[in-house]
Amino acid sequence: MKTAPTFASASEAMELAHAALGYLASADATAMAADTQAQCLRALEQAHAMYTAARTSVLAAFTAGQGYCADADYSPRAWLINRTRITKLGAAVAYTAWVRRAAAHPEVAAVLAAGEMSESFARTICQWTDKLPQESREDADEILLGAAGTGMGLRDLAGLAGEIYARSLPGNPDKDQEEAFGDRSVKLETTFGGAGVLHGDLSPECAAVVGTVLDALAAPAGSEDTRTQAQRFHDGLQEAMRRLCFCIMMNAWTAHRQTGRKPSSGRACTPA
């Protein structure tokens, strides 16, 4: 692990970070060699993880000291919205999510601060172990962090998290699993022009199934496929839903032929 540089003050450290990011933002990335571009992307992801840890630490201290009161704001979230000009969703992520996570998962926060794991991986591990009984979370964090440190991918980590969860269940596993994942959810919000925003909190088992389906349907379509991975996952989800709609229609048609019953009322499922 590299030794952190010494600064005279937090302001000096922020000025240097600002200057470094400003340089990279204004640099001609097209003139960089592919190796340099890859190095930048890896370093920026590491920096983003460390930024998240730093922001969380400062915000937690700011909250504990009620620093927001000096600007006549009634809460840290209100201060973030009014003084840093971020949205309510951004304030919620910055405050209620990571401040809580860092307090509940100190080992994850330490790995994040060291830049040894991406913010998204760290967040996912916290979401998984939050489902466990309080007394099991620290050990689960340690196991999953160790596995991730050896290079284990997210799908395998999801399977490991599911196994840890299953072993933590006392008594009736089915009943306890239903209670533990009571906050599981998927929300689809329709925006302008019929576009949508999809949010979800998936159990490890559900995440594994969804990941398998998306991987199967989101593979690049040859060397000329210029879609990003996120775009391919979007198109894979659409294809999965299209195929499911077709199966629902076929089942309804078969049931109608066999029983003479009309398909149940409701919104028609028509493949695009």
Q: Which residue has the higher pLDDT, 20 or 166?
A: 20
Predicted TM-score of the model (pTM): 0.62
State the average pLDDT over residues 207-235.
83
> Which residues have a Cβ under 8 Å from the Cβ of 16 and sit 6 or more positions away?
7
* Range from 53-62, 142-151, 191-200 carrying the lowest mean pLDDT: 191-200
Cβ proximity of 119 and 52 under 8 Å: yes
The amino acid at 96: T
State the average pLDDT over residues 87-101.
81
230 pLDDT band, cuts 50/70/90, is: confident
117 pLDDT band, cuts 50/70/90, is: very high
Q: Which residue has the higher pLDDT, 269 or 217?
A: 217
263 pLDDT band, cuts 50/70/90, is: low
Per-residue model confidence (pLDDT) at position 152: 87
Q: Is the pLDDT of residue 261 over 60?
A: yes
Per-residue model confidence (pLDDT) at position 202: 81
| Alpha carbon distance 245, 99 (integer Å) | 41
**Average pLDDT of every residue of the chain:** 84
Through-space distance between the first and last CA atoms of the chain, rounded to whole angstroms = 52
132 pLDDT band, cuts 50/70/90, is: confident
Per-residue model confidence (pLDDT) at position 58: 93
Per-residue model confidence (pLDDT) at position 171: 57
Q: Which residue has the higher pLDDT, 173 or 120?
A: 120
266 pLDDT band, cuts 50/70/90, is: very low
* Range from 8-12, 19-23, 88-92 carrying the lowest mean pLDDT: 88-92
Per-residue model confidence (pLDDT) at position 194: 81
Within 13 Å and on the Cβ side, how many CA atoms surround 246? Answer: 8
State the average pLDDT over residues 114-128.
91
Q: Is the pLDDT of residue 172 over 90?
A: no
Rounded to 5°, angle at Cα 157 from 156 and 158: 90
Specify the residue for token string 């920026």.
44
Q: Which residue has the higher pLDDT, 68 or 192?
A: 68
Tokens matching residue 217: 């349907």
State the average pLDDT over residues 157-180.
70
The H or E element containing residue 198 is strand 196-201
